[in-house]
């Protein structure tokens, strides 16, 4: 009897214990939709510079509910758009993925190459000038490619931007489509790499002629102009202009622009809204997020770059653009909440590069800065080589702060070392240059970190120049107005990285993180393979 009682008690205890334990499931959960939101030319400090003026539901919502990697850096040179987008979505660097700039000089053909040029394809829905593009020059897979590979191509992958390179390179090789803006026609277009004709829903959007509607109204400040006390006064001689305008001040009379209207549209904040509207249309019409697997949408907001180049980061135009962008982000997040449900989508916000202050602005405040012209440097070096070595056109091109030598002609003379040294000596005599050296000798040249690693990561022999030169801080290649980017300095290389949505807990880290770490972190979250050239590491804090 005692034995039966003990068996019964043990049995009941065992049953009770088993029911009280957590039930383990081994299924893999993933978000319905993954979104990359890359703001062109957004320096990290723009998250906080206008923080008090942002609403609670745009940038602030991302920061207050998401996870921010506050010390995210670009690990290569040059810090331009095409390498930036390629790096984010491949987890790789130009030395591996091959996109060494927006443009480069191809040593095999002795011709300048645009990063997404592809003569084998034709425009779809657009003009020949803007339509012969594909990811052909990108040498590795992207996270979108790996997502498709992970489930036998069931995922849908799209890329959109005003810029062809900023939609094509993020979307990858196997995407369903990349869409970009044709500034000749004022329409969204693609190429035959993706399809033979635009989908009907996109044709209907183009028929609405939305850029015409936006350009029929003037650009006034969102707030009273005296509230923009984080910017310089409205009229400055070092500011550029929207094409077709004769003034640098508000209100920008877009309605009076009569030529190149669609090109001018890109340099307005309304083109950002136009891009977000396309993102919503892609999600709705392609039914992204309603799939049996995770879908992916890469969005680039590009007008921040066009406006920034003309007016600079301390302008009222940029401040107003970011306040309007904050509203666009608010509406987009609300759209995603309604369409997919909070917590069902994963989004990160980052940038392809930062931006330098306008030298004229810095000089007003006694901060060293200046300009140079790479075309003039090319002419001057060639005159020097002709005079010293009787060599004509010894320099074929200077791009990305790299000198491309006419190796064929130089090797005929058997004076390659002497000519290289002469070019380096000339460059070192220039007051705006701090160092110059042969690119193939970067690893043995005395260069401080992190510049040395950035140079090595950016060097792809067949596409990079023969001699590289480094500028002093706040110097760059540009005309007398506006600004640019492309160098190693924090103003160009320190970018935002904020994670939001599915499985993301609020938090921050000031640990040094790199742009290359974005793709492997996504791969780890989605439990898929990293892209084929990935060198980044998983950001473990984001996944905790």
pLDDT in tens, 486-543: 999 999 999 999 999 999 999 999 999 999 999 999 999 999 999 999 999 999 999 8
The pLDDT, as a whole number, for residue 13 is: 40
Is 360 within a domain? no
Last residue of a domain, one of 455, 477, 499: 477
Contact 178, 168 (CB under 8 A): yes
Rounded to an integer, what distance in angstroms lies between the CA atom of residue 542 and that of residue 69? Answer: 9
User: Are 184 and 145 in a shared domain?
Assistant: yes
User: Are 320 and 398 in a shared domain?
Assistant: no
Terminal Cα distance for the chain, rounded: 53
User: Are 62 and 128 in a shared domain?
Assistant: yes
Q: Residue with structure tokens 């931007």?
A: 161
Is 376 within a domain? yes
Active site residue 275: no
Which residue segment(s) compose the domain that 387 sits in? Answer: 370-477
User: Are 182 and 239 in a shared domain?
Assistant: yes
Rounded to an integer, what distance in angstroms lies between the CA atom of residue 29 and that of residue 444? Answer: 48
Is 27 within a domain? no
Is 21 within a domain? no
User: Are 405 and 298 in a shared domain?
Assistant: no
Is 79 within a domain? yes
User: Are 66 and 149 in a shared domain?
Assistant: yes
Rounded to an integer, what distance in angstroms lies between the CA atom of residue 159 and that of residue 146? Answer: 15
The pLDDT, as a whole number, for residue 448 is: 96
Last residue of a domain, one of 456, 477, 498: 477
User: Are 460 and 536 in a shared domain?
Assistant: no
User: Are 211 and 342 in a shared domain?
Assistant: yes
User: Are 316 and 448 in a shared domain?
Assistant: no
Is 174 within a domain? yes
User: Are 270 and 324 in a shared domain?
Assistant: yes
Per-position DSSP letters for 132-183, written without gaps between them? -B-STT--S--HHHHHHHHTTS-S-EEEE-SSSHHHHHHH-SS-SEEEEEET
User: Are 168 and 269 in a shared domain?
Assistant: yes
8, 25, 79, 81: the catalytic one is 81
CATH of the domain at 469: 3.30.1360.150
Most distant CA pair in the chain, distance: 114
Q: Residue with structure tokens 């083109």?
A: 271
Helix (H, G, I), strand (E, B) or coil at 508: strand
Using 50 as the pLDDT threshold, list the residues of the chain that sit under it: 1-25
* Tally of domains in the chain: 2
Is 470 within a domain? yes
User: Are 301 and 417 in a shared domain?
Assistant: no
The pLDDT, as a whole number, for residue 26 is: 54
Is 486 within a domain? no
Per-position DSSP letters for 418-483, written without gaps between them? HHHHHHHHHHHTSTTEEEEEEGGGGGGS---TTHHHHHHHT--TTTS-SEEEEEPTTEEE--SSS-
CATH of the domain at 283: 3.40.720.10
The pLDDT, as a whole number, for residue 423 is: 98
């Amino acid at each position: 009897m005692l034995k039966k009682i003990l068996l019964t008690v043990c049995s009941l205890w065992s049953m009770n214990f088993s029911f009280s334990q957590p039930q383990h499931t081994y299924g893999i959960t993933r978000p319905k939709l993954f979104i990359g939101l890359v703001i062109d030319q957004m320096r990290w400090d723009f998250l906080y510079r206008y923080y008090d003026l942002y609403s609670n539901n745009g940038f602030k919502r991302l920061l207050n509910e998401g996870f921010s990697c506050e010390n995210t850096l670009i690990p290569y040179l040059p810090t331009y758009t095409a390498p930036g987008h390629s790096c984010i979505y491949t987890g790789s660097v130009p030395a591996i993925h091959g996109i060494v700039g927006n443009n480069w000089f191809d040593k095999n053909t002795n011709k300048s190459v645009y990063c997404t040029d592809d003569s084998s394809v034709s425009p779809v829905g657009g003009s020949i000038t803007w339509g012969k593009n594909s990811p052909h020059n990108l040498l590795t897979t992207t996270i979108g490619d790996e997502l498709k590979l992970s489930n036998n191509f069931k995922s849908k992958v799209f890329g959109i931007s005003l810029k062809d390179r900023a939609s094509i390179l993020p979307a990858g090789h196997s995407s369903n489509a990349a869409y970009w803006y044709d500034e000749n026609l004022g329409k969204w277009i693609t190429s035959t790499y993706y399809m033979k004709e635009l989908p009907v829903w996109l044709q209907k959007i183009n028929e609405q002629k939305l850029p015409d509607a936006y350009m029929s109204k003037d650009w006034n400040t969102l707030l009273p102009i005296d509230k923009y006390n984080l910017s310089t006064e409205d009229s400055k001689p070092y500011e550029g202009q929207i094409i077709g305008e004769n003034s640098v001040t508000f209100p920008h009379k877009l309605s009076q622009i009569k030529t190149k209207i669609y090109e001018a549209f890109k340099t307005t904040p309304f083109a950002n809204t136009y891009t977000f509207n396309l993102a919503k249309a892609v999600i709705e019409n392609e039914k992204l997020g309603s799939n049996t697997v995770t879908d992916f949408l890469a969005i680039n907001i590009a007008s921040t770059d066009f406006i920034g180049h003309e007016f600079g980061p301390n302008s009222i135009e940029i401040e107003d653009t970011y306040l309007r962008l904050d509203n666009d982000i608010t509406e987009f997040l609300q759209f995603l909440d309604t369409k997919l449900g909070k917590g069902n989508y994963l989004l990160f916000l980052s940038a392809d590069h930062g931006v330098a202050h306008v030298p004229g602005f810095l000089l007003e405040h006694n901060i060293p800065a200046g300009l140079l012209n790479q075309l003039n440097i090319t002419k001057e070096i060639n005159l020097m080589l002709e005079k010293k070595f009787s060599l004509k056109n010894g320099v074929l091109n200077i791009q990305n702060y790299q000198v491309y030598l006419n190796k064929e002609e130089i090797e005929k003379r058997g004076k390659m070392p002497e000519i290289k040294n002469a070019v380096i000596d000339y460059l070192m005599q220039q007051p705006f240059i701090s160092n110059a050296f042969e690119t193939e000798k970067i690893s043995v040249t005395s260069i401080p970190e992190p510049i040395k690693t950035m140079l090595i990561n950016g060097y792809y022999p067949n596409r990079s120049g023969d001699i590289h030169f480094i500028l002093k801080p706040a110097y760059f290649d540009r005309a007398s107005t506006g600004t640019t980017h492309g160098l190693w300095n924090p103003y160009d290389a320190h970018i935002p990285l904020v994670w939001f949505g599915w499985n993301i807990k609020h938090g921050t880290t000031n640990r040094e993180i790199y742009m290359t770490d974005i793709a492997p972190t996504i791969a780890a979250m989605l439990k898929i393979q990293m892209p084929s050239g990935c060198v980044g590491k998983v950001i473990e804090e984001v996944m905790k």
